[in-house]
Every structure is written in C-alpha cells, then in structure tokens.
Structure 1
Amino acid sequence: MNSFVDTFSEMDLEAGIQGDVGSFALVMIVAILFGVLLFLLYNLYFHDNEPQDGSLARSLILLTPALTATFWMIQSSVILSLGLLGSLSFVRFRTPVKRSEDVTFIVIALAVSIACATMNFAIGAVLVGILFAFTIIRNFWTVSLSGKGRFAVVTFNTRQDTTVAAIKEAFKSVGLQSQFVSSRSYDGITSFVFNASKVSKEQHEALSVKLSEFDREASFNIFYPNDRLGV
C-alpha cells in the first residue's frame, strides 16, 4: 500500500513539474503583458481624483507572472496544491491594504493569472477589457455628465476624535460638495482623505480656516490635480 502511494506521489509530482518549456515561455510572456495592462488599468482607474498606491500598481507587473508560474506548476499536482495551501497560511500583509479597491486589483491579478496558467487567454482578455471599459465610463463619461471636472484632494491629519460626518459638514459650511475617500489611524493620528468638487480660491481659504478650527495642531493639505484650482 505504501509503495503504491509513493509511486502515485512520484508520478503526480513529475506530471506537475514536467511540461512544455515553449508553452511555459508563451504563458509567462502573456502574463507579463497582462501585468502591464493591470498596471495601466490601476493608474487609469484612480486617474488623478484619488491617491494612488504606486507600490501596489508596480507590483501588479510582477505579481501576475509570479502567480501564473505558481498555478502552472501546481495545476496537475495534488501534492503541490496541498503544499501551496499550507505555505500560504503563513503569508500575511505586513502593511495593511487601505482600500477594498486595492484588494480587488489583487484578486483581478489572481483571476488573470489562473486564466494564463490554464491557457485561457481569451477569458483574461475579456475580463481586462470589461474593466477598462468600466473604468473609462467611470472616470470620463460620468465625470463629464456630472460636471465634476474641477476638484481638490484634501488630506486632514488629526489626533482629535473627529468623525467623517463632522468634516463633511465643514466642507458644506463653506459651500463645497465633498466625497469621503478613505481614512487610516496610525500612532494616534487619524488621516482622512476627501475629494472636494469645484473649489475656488475663496473656498480654498475658507476651508483652511474651517479645518484649523477642528484641531489647531492638525495638519492638512489641499492638492489640485492638473492645476484645477478655480471654478
């Protein structure tokens, strides 16, 4: 019985490792191309209206072929598949991912990698194509319809116990529409990120005064992507 199990294990392992080198090279080239496309998709998705994680964007180019190679090696090996599950149980994100959308891009890279490893390139292309179409509609078509072409990115860092609703009320008091993007707490400091549409010079100054009233020791920055200051 043991000899049968050992023989089966050896055959299973060899079947998982052996393969056509030419096919593997093709798969890796396509995976790298998909990684570059995901990098472009990430930058296009956030465009210039939200803070981007440059490290995550660049890692997509490496992550996609790395995952593809992993799935290529284990797709026909039960032993390697079980070993992968055990090894992944020790993997942890040392830096927390701030936004669920960032996690989504990792999942997209995972899906594309599986498509490449199984040589279903058309499925990966359709997935990425749909996401590009959605991104273009989200960033350009809807923006042109809603008239939110001019905006500012506001970051507010405070040690005080402040709520998102209270900060949005401060925006409203100076005549600004705001959209909450993200928040993060570290070493007792909470950082908030907002988008504020149609900011004029007068509103910029009024918002600076209003945010100072929340916490005089707080720091905040107002960024204008592509010099979009003014109505």
Structure 2
Amino acid sequence: MKSTHRIWTGMVLSLILLLAVPLGTVAAQENGGGFTEPFDDPQLPNWEHSPETIVKDGVLVIGPGNVAIRLGDFSNFTAEFKVRFTGPGLIFFRFHMRDDGDNVVIFDGQRVSLERTATGQSNELAGAEWSGFSGDWDTVKVTAQSGQYEVSVNGQVLLQTQETGEAPGGGSLGFIVDGESSAEFDDLSVAPIMVEGGGQEMAPAPAGDQPAAAATAQPSTQYGIGSLLAQLSGSQASPPEFTTFSVNLLLSVVLAFVLSRVYIYWGSALSNRRRFAANFILITITTTFIILIVRSSVALSLGLVGALSIVRFRAAIKEPEELAYLFFAIGIGIGLGDNQRLITVVAMAVVVAVIGIARLFRGRQSDFNLHLTVTSGNPDKVSLEAVTGTLRKHAAQSRLVRYDEDAKMLEVSYLVEFKNSAEFEAAKNALQALSKGIQITFLDNKGIG
C-alpha cells in the first residue's frame, strides 16, 4: 500500500508540474523535428519531469510513479532508446500526447500492448505475450506511420498493427514508470518520417542501429498533456451539476440533524451527547462536499489519500457508541457525495427504526444529564445520607457512582438528572445549606433541556 501511494502521489505531482508549463514555451522547445538525447545534462533541457526523475552517470533514472515528458509535435517517426529495468512493474512509452488523446506502449513482465486513449476511454490496438526485459540494457524501437505502428525489442518485432479511422495528429512523447523499482533510459533518438507532398504516403523508417536523419516537420497548433489527465480520469463519473450539488448538500444537513437528535435522545453515552452531536452536521457536509469533488477524478481521489495520510486524530473517543455514530455520519456523506440519495435515505430510515425499536424494548433507561461531585470536610462534614436525601428531593433521578470517606473528609460522586434549571438551582442551594464548607462540582453530560 505504501508503494502504491508513493507511485500515484508522484504521478499526480508530476502532472501538476507539467500543466504549469505555458503552451507557448512548448512550441518554442520542439517543432516536431528529430533529435538525439544522450542524457548527459543533469538539467534535462527541453524535458518536463517529476521530482524523482534525474540524470545520473549519463543515464535518465525515473523512480516509481514518476514521469518524463519531451514536449513537442512528433507525428510520424521512429523512436529508439535503451532501457534497463529489473521490475516488477510497468513501463509506459507515450506518444502523440494531445488534449484529445494519446497512444501508449505498455511493457510489463508478461505482456506488451499498444493502446489508444481518446476522451478518457482506452482501446487496445494490439497485444502480445513476451518474456519481459532482460534486466540488462535492452533496445526498444517504436515506429508510428500514419496510423501504422510497429514495436520491437532487441530487434524482435513484438507488435505490428494498423489503426482504423483517422490517424492521430502529432504530440509530445515521454516515459512513465509504475512499480517498485526505478527504470533507466539512455540514447534516445527520434527520427521523423517525411510525408511526400504533405500526404500520408510514408518513406521507410531507418533500419538497424543506423542513426536516423533529422528533418523538420510542420509544427502543430495543439500541444499539451491533456490526454494523460484524460486517462487518469477515465471511467469516472462526470462532475455534478450545481443543482445536484445543492440538493445533496441540503439533504446531508437534514439527515445529519435527524441523526444528531437520535443520538441526543436515544443514545446511552455518559459524555455530553448534545455537544458531541453538534459535530455530525459539519462532518456529514464536509464528507459530502469532498466526495462530490473527487468522484469525478482519480487524480483528485489519490491526492485526497495523500493529504489524509498526514492527518492524525487527536480527540479521544470515550465510548464505542460515539464511534458508531461518527462512522454513520461519514457514511451518509459518502452516499450523498456519490449521488446515491435513495440508498442513503433508506439506510437512514432503517437505522433510525432499528435504534428506536431497540430503545422501546429496553424500556426507559436512566438519562442523566449532569455529573455531580460533593466534597465536605471537618468540622462540618456532612453524611452520605444527607447528600443522597437532598438529591432525591430535587433531582428527577440520581445514582451514586463513587464514595470516598475518611475521618476528615467525605467525597461522593453522582449521576443526576434535572428536568429544568429551576430543579438544578434548588438542588444546589439545598446542598450548600447542609454545610458552610461543602464543595459542589457539576459537570455537564447532556445539558439541561
């Protein structure tokens, strides 16, 4: 789990970095012509990359969950590079990266595949079984010609396919590593394949290990890495409309209020139920708000996981009942955040009914709303019987929970219930009348209604 969290966190951070690059800068860096990259410069000019992508000893090293993108407009080309990867994990070589989609060659330990991503949906164009990288330097070659693709490793052709429909336009290219180990890349060369008369008839790609001649292609007017974001958000629900957002938030307030009333009047915790229940509305609204936002994006969901990983709860949960109600408040928020109104409302009705029926069968329980501590010492030390008798006269009910007495001092604690503030005031005055030196401490439990 820790490794997966690190991988996705690195990917999300790298995407944020790439989105910050102005499109004009992209156009200035590459016009789609060929280039060779020996990775000799630690600054990686003309590349955008995440923090754990570095140049070390003349080799590009990409850590798990990290990315390196060569921005530009590469349409018809042959790309060749060396890679050393011991795995386990995946290596992605992405190309034709545009706002409306991209192509990606995926290498894993048992299979290599070519996928086309458009408008957030991925479609596999070709796939084949293979034995994986050798663990030493392997040479990978990818050729893209007007919708025709060929992928080979160490001279062995693994994939050959023709994309149906209109061939994709040019775009950026780059590497992504996913797994538990870093991958090393070296000697990247990209050679454009010229188009005769601006048409789609392609000249043959250079063969063998001969360096490809560089030529200038026509620059494109579209750049960016929107397709990478599109794949991250693929198969996700669309962002909610404002009406849906408002209705769900309002419903979360109503259900949280009902839950708080149920806890106050039917709960059995001895702590201050009224104050504790006041948190239910905020918890439910916050959960609904967060789920409504992150449900439309995997990247945001994973970012939320990373943010919550540094949060620690400091408030002590005194009783299991408190935790149960907190979980249910969060569950209401998740249900409404996912726009599952009917299920959430039905679940709420069932839970309230079950709690109500259980309360009915248990009968009336003691519903103490205050903790009372009475301390009395010599020379006017009062007796236990005097304190208990006074409480019986003025409190609706009382229960002795602690008794300490020695030759000099008496200290007793009660759970008491007062129906109103008048009863409370009368009991206080009566206790103080028992002795001038008596000390009385009231601790709020539920509050006086």
Q: TM-score range by the shorter chain?
A: 0.5 to 0.7
SS at match of 1:211: strand
What is residue 175 of structure 1 aligned with on the other side?
none
CA distance in 2, matches of 1:109, 1:79: 25
CA distance in 2, matches of 1:59, 1:18: 28
Would the alpha carbon gap of residues 66 and 207 (structure 1) be closer, same or farther in structure 2, given more than 3 Å must change?
closer
Letter in 1 for 2:342: A
SS at match of 1:140: helix
Would the alpha carbon gap of residues 77 and 98 (structure 1) be closer, same or farther in structure 2, given more than 3 Å must change?
same
Q: 1:16 offset after TM fit, Å? A: 7.2
State TM-score, norm by structure 2. 0.34
Moved more, 89-98 or 219-228: 219-228
Would the alpha carbon gap of residues 205 and 40 (structure 1) be closer, same or farther in structure 2, given more than 3 Å must change?
closer
Does the CA contact (< 8 Å) of 2:400 and 2:415 recur in 1? no
CA distance in 2, matches of 1:117, 1:31: 9
Does the CA contact (< 8 Å) of 1:39 and 1:57 recur in 2? yes
Does the CA contact (< 8 Å) of 2:399 and 2:416 recur in 1? no
Which structure carries more helix by proportion? 1
Letter in 2 for 1:220: S
CA distance in 2, matches of 1:39, 1:226: 20
Task: Please point out which of 333, 337, 360 is paired with 1:117.
Answer: 337
SS at match of 2:312: coil
Deviations 1:32-91 (A, max 9, x none): 1112122112213227x7333433311111111110110111112111111111111122
Q: 1:10 offset after TM fit, Å? A: 3.2
What is residue 353 of structure 2 aligned with on the other side?
133
Does the CA contact (< 8 Å) of 2:284 and 2:333 recur in 1? yes
Would the alpha carbon gap of residues 58 and 135 (structure 1) be closer, same or farther in structure 2, given more than 3 Å must change?
same
CA distance in 2, matches of 1:222, 1:60: 26
Does the CA contact (< 8 Å) of 1:116 and 1:124 recur in 2? yes
1:56 is the counterpart of 2:276:
yes
CA distance in 1, matches of 2:367, 2:330: 34
What is residue 10 of structure 1 aligned with on the other side?
229
Deviations 1:134-183 (A, max 9, x none): 22223333215xxx5x67678588xxxxxxxxxxxxxxxxxxxxxxxxxx
Q: RCO greater where, 1 or 2, for CA within 8 Å and sep 6 or more?
A: 1
What is residue 185 of structure 1 aligned with on the other side?
none
CA distance in 1, matches of 2:254, 2:367: 33
Task: Please point out which of 403, 416, 425 is paired with 1:211.
Answer: 403
Q: Mapping of 1:172-211 within 5 angstroms? A: 207=400, 211=403
Letter in 2 for 1:106: L
Would the alpha carbon gap of residues 220 and 25 (structure 1) be closer, same or farther in structure 2, given more than 3 Å must change?
same
Q: 1:107 offset after TM fit, Å? A: 0.9
Q: Mapping of 1:70-109 within 5 angstroms? A: 70-109=290-329
Which structure carries more strand by proportion? 2
Letter in 1 for 2:246: A
CA distance in 1, matches of 2:335, 2:263: 19
State TM-score, norm by structure 1. 0.62
Moved more, 95-104 or 9-18: 9-18
1:223 is the counterpart of 2:223:
no
What is residue 176 of structure 1 aligned with on the other side?
none
Would the alpha carbon gap of residues 138 and 67 (structure 1) be closer, same or farther in structure 2, given more than 3 Å must change?
same
Would the alpha carbon gap of residues 206 and 95 (structure 1) be closer, same or farther in structure 2, given more than 3 Å must change?
closer
Would the alpha carbon gap of residues 154 and 39 (structure 1) be closer, same or farther in structure 2, given more than 3 Å must change?
closer
What is residue 178 of structure 1 aligned with on the other side?
none
Does the CA contact (< 8 Å) of 2:260 and 2:280 recur in 1? yes
Q: 1:9 offset after TM fit, Å? A: 4.4
CA distance in 2, matches of 1:9, 1:100: 45
SS at match of 1:222: strand
Does the CA contact (< 8 Å) of 2:270 and 2:368 recur in 1? no
RMSD of aligned residue pairs (Cα, Å): 3.8
CA distance in 2, matches of 1:51, 1:87: 31
The structure that has the greater radius of gyration is 2
